[in-house]
Amino acid sequence: MKGLESARGDGRRRRAGTGRRWAAVGASAAGLAVLTAVLVAARGSLSLAAIVLVYLTAVVLVATTGGLALALAAAVASGVLVNFFFVPPFHTLTVENRDLVITLAVYVLVATTVSVAVDLAARQRAAAVRSGVEAALLARITEAPLEEGPLTAVLAHVQDTFAMTGAALLESGPDGEHPVAVVGEAPSDRPALSASAGEGLRLVADGPEVFAADPRFLTLLATAAARALQAERLAAQAARARELAEIDRLRAALLAAVGHDLRTPLAGIKAAVSVLREPDLELPEAQQAELLASVDASADKMGDLVENLLALSRLQAGALSVHPRPTALDEITAAALLHTPLPPGRTVDVDVPDDLPPAWADPGLLERVVANLVTNALQAGPPGRPVRLHARREAGTVQLAVIDHGPGIPAEERERTFAPFQRLDDHTTHQGLGLGLAIARGFTEAMHGTLTPTDTPGGGLTMTITLPVAP
């Protein structure tokens, strides 16, 4: 059925081309007839040379518009007309003067030569224009970035170049052809253009019938579409490979870090419980309380570790639930400090005015962000310098800065510290999994805020949380 429909389409295109050719023949014949009538009327005032030049001009016009075959026919026909109407004896094909015979012969020869030259020039000009268009089109296709979809760009160029309503690349499969990519209308069973794009691929376009489409150009476009498809698939495979490599890297980092961070509190809990359960030991109440405090601290450390891992998994899976509402920064800061243990000799200075406008944030997530940042600042800062919390309003936002006076982070290393399992000293794991900043930034961005690291004047690091003011 498809073969029959394709044959019907080819037949319609051939009939259309034949109709155009007959129209050109009719126009040329009518033009010569009108020109002859005008010249016959002015025959007494024109020389034979002038009449021949006028006919030669007409032949050149026919060659320019109608092609070589029609121009040759016009050259012969005009020679006959000159002989019949303008060479004595008139209205006969007899030529009495030998010089006139030479004139007619030379005229036909010159008209033929000019027709051939004009046709060759027209063909070369058309070929040059076509080559320029093809080169420009293929250059645009080649230069299209992968992220913009080169295959879609190729199909769009096919649609625009041939004024089609739609273009598609079809791929053969066990159940027949199916479109890989479509621009415009979906492909029909009778495309106006069709070209093989390689093994199992075909470029098709639907729209008005195209007369004498250049098969070489269509093949180039089809090949470009096939290469674009291959490039997109290779890019997708490369992206998948990078994703798998990143997953493997995170898994290795997780196993290395979790192995240490889980063993340490588990070992502490196991040791303390073993001592408490020893029947032969009679421990004073002070030692029992110390062991129980060690068990409690180790359990809290394990709970924080599991909570961080769960938070990271929710962030990476896009399953984090955010419920923003008007939130007072002073209340959030107080709650975060209440649940953040301070190392011995360490202090936190709080400068959070209670008259600040409420931030549009999720209170639970924001408290977690502040707690993580304060914990990192306490670890980084020197024992004799307090961590400072300072809040202010700035251009429709509220900002909370967590300021420490530690060694700081070099500008080129700051983004790396926001990646999971990354610390400034990745050679050890005694400082934890390195999830605090990753979770802090992820939670902040989930609330449509930003977390920005900057240098502290005098040395250290300032982490600034910026959140929109509640409406």
Q: Residue 433 above 60 pLDDT?
A: no
Mean pLDDT of 454-462: 90
Position 188 scores a pLDDT of: 81
Question: C-alpha angle 255/260/262, rounded to 5°?
Answer: 90
Residue 149 structure tokens: 């979809």
Residue bearing the bigger pLDDT, 51 or 461? 461
Mean pLDDT of 94-121: 75
Say which residues have a Cβ less than 8 Å from residue 188's Cβ, sequence separation at least 6: 206
Contact (Cβ atoms closer than 8 angstroms) between residue 378 and residue 417: no
Using only the alpha carbons of the chain, give its radius of gyration. Answer: 43
For the chain, give the percent of residues with pLDDT over 90: 13
Mean pLDDT of 171-183: 86
In the block, which residue shows the tokens 């319609």? 12
Residue 19 structure tokens: 């109709």
pTM exceeding the 0.75 threshold for the entire prediction: no
Question: C-alpha angle 405/407/413, rounded to 5°?
Answer: 125
pLDDT winner (highest mean) among 17-21, 223-227, 242-246, 435-439: 223-227
**Per-residue pLDDT tens over the stretch 194-220:** 888 888 898 888 887 765 556 777 777
Question: C-alpha angle 58/60/62, rounded to 5°?
Answer: 70
Position 420 scores a pLDDT of: 60
Position 236 scores a pLDDT of: 84
Position 1 scores a pLDDT of: 37
Say which residues have a Cβ less than 8 Å from residue 192's Cβ, sequence separation at least 6: 9, 162, 164, 205, 206, 207, 208, 209, 210
Position 139 scores a pLDDT of: 64
Position 334 scores a pLDDT of: 92
Which whole-number Å values give the CA distances from 198 to 172, 203, 317, 420, in the listed order? 11, 10, 40, 45
Q: Residue 185 above 70 pLDDT?
A: yes
CA distance 119 to 428: 81
Provide the angle, in degrees to the nearest 10, between the axes of the packed helices 285-317 and 436-446: 50
**Per-residue pLDDT tens over the stretch 374-415:** 988 888 888 888 999 999 998 889 999 999 998 888 888 888
Dihedrals φ, ψ of 327, to 5°? -130, 130
Position 16 scores a pLDDT of: 47
In the block, which residue shows the tokens 């961005």? 445
**DSSP code string of 127-155:** HHHHHHHHHHHHHHHHHS-GGG-HHHHHH
Q: Residue 354 above 50 pLDDT?
A: yes
DSSP code at position 213: -
**Per-residue pLDDT tens over the stretch 292-351:** 888 888 887 777 777 766 666 666 666 677 889 999 999 999 998 987 878 888 889 999
Confidence of residue 111 (pLDDT cuts 50, 70, 90): confident
29: nearest Cα among 82, 84, 66: 66
Dihedrals φ, ψ of 428, to 5°? -130, 165
Burial of 135 from C-beta contacts in 10 A (0-12 / 13-18 / 19+): exposed
How do strand 450-455 and strand 461-468 relate by DSSP bridges?
antiparallel
465: nearest Cα among 456, 347, 457, 454: 454
Domain boundaries defined on the chain: 2-138, 157-241, 254-317, 325-468
Position 450 scores a pLDDT of: 92
Average per-residue pLDDT for the chain? 77
According to CATH, the topology of domain 325-468 is Heat Shock Protein 90 (3.30.565)
Residue 327 structure tokens: 């939130």
Position 5 scores a pLDDT of: 41
Residue 284 structure tokens: 């004073």
Confidence of residue 463 (pLDDT cuts 50, 70, 90): very high
Position 4 scores a pLDDT of: 35
Q: State the amino acid at position 86 in one-letter form.
A: F
Burial of 155 from C-beta contacts in 10 A (0-12 / 13-18 / 19+): buried
**DSSP code string of 391-412:** EEEETTEEEEEEE--SS---GG
Position 422 scores a pLDDT of: 52
Is residue 344 within a helix (H) or strand (E), and if so which, with residue range? none
Residue 303 structure tokens: 């709970």
Position 32 scores a pLDDT of: 76
